[in-house]
Structure 1
Amino acid sequence: MELRQLMYFIEVAKHNSITKAAEHLHISQPALSKSIMSLENELGTNLMIRSNKTSHLTDAGNVVLEYAQKMTALVDEMQLTLSDLTNLSIGQLNIGLPPFIGSLFFPQVMAKFHRAYPNIKMDITEYGGARVVKSVEEGEFELGVAVLPLDEQIFNVYPIVEEEMKLIVHQSHPLATRQEVNIKDLKDEEFIFYHEEFALNEIIRNHFFIIAGFEPNILFKSSQWDLMSEMVAANLGLTILPQSICERLLAKDIEILSLKPTVMWRLAVITKKGRYLSNAGRTFIEFILNERL
């Protein structure tokens, strides 16, 4: 068994497609298929169910994927450690960012960081918040940015942002004349909400709506804050967005209201406890903690 085979297998599992994985890896589809089949033969079991367009993991495939991710993460960690010890290569950072967060705060931060440390390269991947957390835990990313709260027995947490969430309503809505709305008053409303892959979906639903005694009536789900606000402007429902996003809204015909109890949006840079953190990673964390986002 070769490490390359495991890396190829991880890529196929990520894309659920040998064709797409081959394109991403810049190798031919037959070569990738041969590598996966060789791995299956060596392990003596089928790792995926193949169809014309997709490939889905079997139960055995899920087990192999879990161990393959751990093994490749250890190799990455070894390379980082050796790089820092020998100082033979420039810095490299693999960062996971939720789209909401990346578009809000990080373009200017990344520009400042690059000017200060031009030899540190950054590989940024946008995932939903829940997937960022999982990927940091599994070792795909050295660090990520996530919404709190998180299990601090698993992660090192470096808080960077704390602000209020706001309720967005159409200007003709009966609530639009208020300055503050109690969450209990939203029981019969229809919502434009976050997809399940976003941490805010679970946090707002469980920590606020469920505690208030009801399930939110979700009409649409989206991963784009501008689309969510435009849907409210079209009078399709209500939504809840962070203060900093509200300040950037271009949609007309909406009102921005405070919530009671206050719903806070707290962001942090996270790393996995017990995993080696490179000089580049430590430098970035120190840099961003000194920035005012």
Structure 2
Amino acid sequence: MELRTLRIFAEVVRQGGFTQAAKTVFLTQSAVSKAVRQLEDELGVTLLDRNGHKSVMTDAGEVVFQRALRILAEQDDLKTELAELQGLTKGMLRLGLPPIGSDALFAPMFAIYRRLYPGIDIHLVEHGSKKLEDMVRDGEVDLGASLLPAPDEFDWQNVRKEPIDVLIPASHPLADQPIIALKQLQDMPFILFDSAFALNPIILNACRSQGFTPSIAARSSQINFIIELVYAGLGIGFLPRLIAEQRVRDGVRHITLTEPDLSWDMAWVWRRGAYLPHAARAWLELAARFQHG
């Protein structure tokens, strides 16, 4: 049963005959009559009692007409809802955010996005990069913020690239240096993030490239706690400069890390070749404006 045939039949009933219905649906009278006959043949019942120029619905015709109205209304609602999604008057944006840097990078964007698209529901989750990549892969979020390089299965859009600074107690002999090489830190205990955080492999791989494996004094998912541990003299920490500059603490120095040149390269990732909802596309467009503006 085709929706087109149901619509023609409903129009015949509304208009009171084939001639006027033909004008409404922009078909010939014979085409309208043929469509109704096909519907009757398919259903195996007579829908219209044709008497000269008048057509009166049979009992079966009344049933089909009422059902047709509901079906056609559902179709119209579906088209309207899809149009609303494309026009971003409704829908959902599912984002995966990292615990590091989200406040600085994304909070202003949320305010603007909400103002532009007040009908979009925003669903947020917060995890380390590796977990967010898994959630993107499994379709649990539309976009996830992760560190580059991204796995080949993802498309990505750059967010921000920041150098990594060393956090060191102000009382340490190296604290007054403007820059510091990673190899100079090999005998100091490291305070790292939890294993799920993508910043850890960047630091540990860099240490291996410099010929040493650091001693790890502690791990934490809390930036402020790591800073306090550095202040207490437990070891040294590492933060992207953007985040480090927002968390100045008396007694803790931030020093530019060199040799090797390490960076925290954040990007939005999504499944390559997968459907990306309009709400997510709008978020990426806004993110691109932030990056270049």
1:145–1:267 Cα contact (<8 Å) kept: yes
SS at match of 1:227: helix
Aligned-partner Cα distance in 2 for 1:83–1:97: 33
Report the CA distance between 1:136 and its aligned residue: 0.6
CA separation in 2, counterparts of 1:284 and 1:182? Answer: 38
Q: Distance in 2 between matches of 1:83 and 1:197?
A: 43
Report the number of matched residues. 210
Match of 1:143 in 2: 143
Say if 2:170 and 2:252, in contact at 8 Å, map to a contact too.
Answer: yes
1:99 maps onto 2:95 in alignment: no
What SS does structure 1 have at the residue aligned with 2:165? Answer: strand
Secondary structure of the structure 2 residue equivalent to 1:114: helix
Residues 137 and 173 (structure 1 numbering): CA distance in 2 closer, same or farther, change over 3 Å?
same
- Confirm or deny: 8 A CA contact 2:101 2:243 kept in the other structure: no
Within the candidate set 223, 226, 239, 1:225 is matched to 223
Q: Assess if the C-alpha contact under 8 Å between 1:84 and 1:279 holds in 2.
A: no
- 1:219-263 C-alpha deviation (Å, 9 max, x unpaired): 010111111111111111101111111111142111111111221
Q: TM-score, normalised by structure 2?
A: 0.68
**Is 2:225 the partner of 1:248?**
no
d(CA) in 1 for partners of 2:253 and 2:231?
9
SS in 2 for 1:252: coil
1:150 partner SS: coil
Q: Tell me if structure 2 keeps the 8 A contact 1:187–1:216.
A: yes
Query: Is contact 1:84-1:278 (8 Å) kept?
Result: no
Deviations 1:187-211 (A, max 9, x none): 11101101101111122212x1111
Counterpart contact for 1:96–1:126, Cα < 8 Å: yes
Q: Secondary structure at the match of 1:100?
A: coil
- Do 1:192 and 1:221's aligned partners in 2 also have CA atoms closer than 8 Å? yes
Structure 1 residues 166 and 85 mapped into 2: Cα distance closer, same or farther (>3 Å)? same
d(CA) in 1 for partners of 2:216, 2:262: 18
State which of 207, 213, 216 in structure 2 corresponds to 1:215. Answer: 213
Distance 1:264 1:83, change over 3 A: farther
C-alpha distance in 2, partners of 1:201/1:154?
22
1:104 deviates by 2.5
Question: How many Å apart are 1:88 and its aligned residue?
Answer: 5.2
User: What letter is aligned with 1:117?
Assistant: Y
Quick check: 2:202–2:262 contact (8 Å CA) kept in 1?
no
Residue 242 of structure 2 aligns with an amino acid whose one-letter code is S
Residue 205 of structure 1 aligns to a residue whose secondary structure is helix
SS of 1:132's partner is: helix
Once the two structures are superposed, residues 124-175 of structure 1 have per-residue CA deviations (whole angstroms, 9 ceiling, x without a partner) of 0001111001111121111111111112x21111001011110110011111
Does structure 2 retain, via aligned residues, the 8 Å contact 1:166–1:256? yes
> CA RMSD of the aligned region, Å?
1.8
Structure ID, larger Rg: 2
The answer (yes or no) to whether the contact 1:160–1:269 under 8 Å persists in 2 is yes
Structure 2 Cα separation of the partners of residues 134 and 211 of structure 1: 28
- Map 1:47-126 → 2, pairs under 5 A: 86-87=82-83, 90-126=90-126
Unaligned runs of 5+ in 2: 1-77
**1:175 counterpart residue number:** 174
- Residue identity opposite 1:163 in structure 2: E
- Taking the aligned partners of 1:189 and 1:84, their CA distance within structure 2 comes to 63
Moved over 4 A (4+): 82-85
Q: 1:111 to 1:194 in 2, by over 3 A?
A: same
